[in-house]
């Protein structure tokens, strides 16, 4: 009889939540991870008391009571609310687009004035089916140029006309002064950092770091009844049907003195600036410190050996993913979950919920 009920491949948020749930139910679980740390891309590294979001900023937000209750079992959350600013040329703007942004652009002071102005500038389109047409039909070309076009081209390295509307519908457009990036009921950052929350979730569970599943797949498969694979689905099948697309990222850190930008996130939306945003990590925490860690985030082309970040949601990728999914379905002792194995752009609450659901079903 195999030693474990579940081998979880990948120690990111999905793998950890799944393992936690099964461990709690008395199952024998082991988690393996090819990197040298837990947490996947949610990993935070403590640098002089500042929890640095090593793989890009992660802000937990949800309206789902189950997800919120679940994560609160392992950490307390602070009252951080994401209110990024946009820098375009020499100006700063309130963001996401709200009444203050429209005041800064057009001088409108009330929701009615704003609505009238937007009506005059939009380029109407019935059923816009791509990102560019949708934005133009909602807010017109000035706002599209300042806030969306350059950032989106940098981020995705595709024409916004070739991108789905779903990508941009994540961002609210409001005719109030509410500049909260999210519409969700709950939001915050784990006090002490994500790594500390994730470590708590893993309490009692066996974790093997620097363990490459593919280096000895036969062995790993033999030690458990079921494999829960959270890595790239195309890699699982050795890319035999082709490679799925991802976007990569590169980060440049600086350790500085004082307060660099006065906010956790400032987006740089100009096309000619190579990074998309600057993160100043200490502003996620509400504890001032003499030092500060500042990270520039550069989108980059993804290569197979790189860390994958954003799955690219195109019709072509969807089709290829479906083929892989069908192959995976035929394997009785294999379960898939998380952003990479499902090739979907998932928020953290969706990751947690889907892991809990899969644990419940299996």
Please give the positions annotated as active site: 170, 174, 247, 277, 297, 345, 347
Q: What is the rounded CA–CA span in Å between residue 321 and residue 188?
A: 33
Residue 139 within binding range of ligand UDP, rule CB under 6 A: no
DSSP 87: E
Nearer to ligand UDP, 167 or 352 (CB): 167
Q: Does 143 bind ligand UDP (CB under 6 A)?
A: no
Stretch that binds ligand UDP, among 60-68, 147-155, 202-210, 283-291 (CB under 6 A): 147-155
In the complex, least distance from residue 262 CB atom to ligand UDP, rounded to whole angstroms? 17
Rounded to the nearest whole angstrom, what is the least distance from the CB of residue 155 to ligand UDP in the complex? 5
- Residue 347 CB, shortest distance to ligand UDP, in Å, is 8
147 in contact with ligand UDP (CB under 6 A)? yes
Choose, by CB under 6 A, the member of 98, 195, 269, 295 that binds ligand UDP: 269
Binding of ligand UDP at residue 148 (CB under 6 A)?
yes
Per rule CB under 6 A, is residue 122 in the interface with ligand UDP? no
Token pair recorded at residue 331: 């394997």
Q: How far apart are CA 283 and CA 275, in angstroms?
A: 20
Selected from 69, 73, 109, 170, the binder of ligand UDP by CB under 6 A is: 170
Cβ closer to ligand UDP: 167 or 359? 167
Contact between 207 and ligand UDP by CB under 6 A: the answer reads no
Q: Quote the least distance from Cβ 297 to ligand UDP, whole Å.
A: 8
- Residue from 11, 17, 86, 224 in contact with ligand UDP (CB under 6 A): 86
Block residue for tokens 């502003």: 283
Q: In this structure, what token pair is assigned to residue 219?
A: 């062995």
**Both structure tokens of 277:** 């945003």
CA distance 296 to 202: 31
Strand boundaries in the chain, DSSP class E? 4-9, 29-32, 44-47, 50-53, 60-62, 85-88, 91-94, 186-188, 206-208, 224-229, 246-257, 265-268, 277-280, 291-301, 310-311, 334-336
Q: Count Cβ atoms below 10 Å from residue 81 Cβ, excluding itself.
A: 15
Under the criterion CB under 6 A, does residue 259 sit at the interface with ligand UDP? no
SS3 per-residue string spanning 52-73: EECCCCCCEEECCHHHHHHHHC
Report if residue 267 touches ligand UDP, rule: CB under 6 A: yes
Residues of the shown chain interacting with ligand UDP in the complex, contacts defined by CB under 6 A: 86, 147-148, 151-152, 155, 167-168, 170-171, 267, 269
């Amino acid at each position: 009889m195999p030693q474990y009920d579940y081998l979880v491949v990948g120690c990111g948020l999905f793998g950890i939540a799944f393992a936690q749930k099964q461990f709690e139910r008395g199952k024998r679980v082991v988690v393996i991870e090819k990197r040298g740390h837990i947490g996947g891309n949610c990993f935070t590294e403590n640098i002089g008391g500042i929890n640095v979001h090593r793989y890009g900023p992660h802000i937990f937000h949800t309206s789902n009571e189950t997800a919120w209750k679940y994560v609160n079992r392992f950490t307390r959350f602070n009252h951080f609310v994401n209110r990024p600013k946009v820098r375009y040329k020499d100006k700063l703007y309130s963001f996401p687009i709200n009444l203050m942004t429209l005041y800064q652009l057009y001088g409108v002071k009330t929701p009615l004035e704003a609505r009238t102005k937007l009506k005059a500038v939009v380029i109407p389109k019935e059923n816009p089916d791509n990102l560019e047409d949708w934005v133009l039909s909602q807010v017109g070309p000035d706002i599209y140029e300042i806030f969306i076009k350059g950032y989106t081209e940098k981020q995705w390295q595709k024409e916004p006309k070739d991108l789905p509307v779903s990508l941009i519908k994540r961002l609210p457009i409001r005719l109030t002064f509410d500049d909260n990036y999210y519409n969700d009921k709950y939001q915050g950052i784990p006090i002490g950092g994500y790594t500390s929350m994730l470590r708590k979730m893993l309490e009692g569970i066996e974790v093997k770091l620097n363990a490459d599943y593919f280096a000895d797949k036969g062995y790993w498969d033999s030690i458990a009844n079921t494999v829960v694979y959270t890595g790239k689905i195309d890699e699982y099948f050795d890319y035999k049907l082709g490679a799925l697309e991802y976007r990569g990222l590169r980060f440049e850190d600086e350790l500085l003195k004082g307060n660099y930008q006065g906010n956790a996130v400032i987006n740089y939306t100009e096309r000619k600036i190579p990074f998309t945003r600057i993160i100043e990590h200490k502003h996620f925490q509400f504890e001032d410190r003499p030092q500060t860690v500042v990270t520039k985030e550069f989108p980059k082309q993804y290569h197979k050996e790189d860390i994958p970040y954003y799955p690219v949601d195109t019709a072509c990728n969807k089709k290829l993913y479906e083929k892989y999914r069908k192959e995976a379905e035929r394997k009785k002792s294999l379960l898939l979950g998380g952003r990479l194995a499902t090739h979907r752009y998932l928020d953290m609450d969706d990751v947690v919920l889907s892991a809990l659901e899969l644990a419940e079903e299996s």
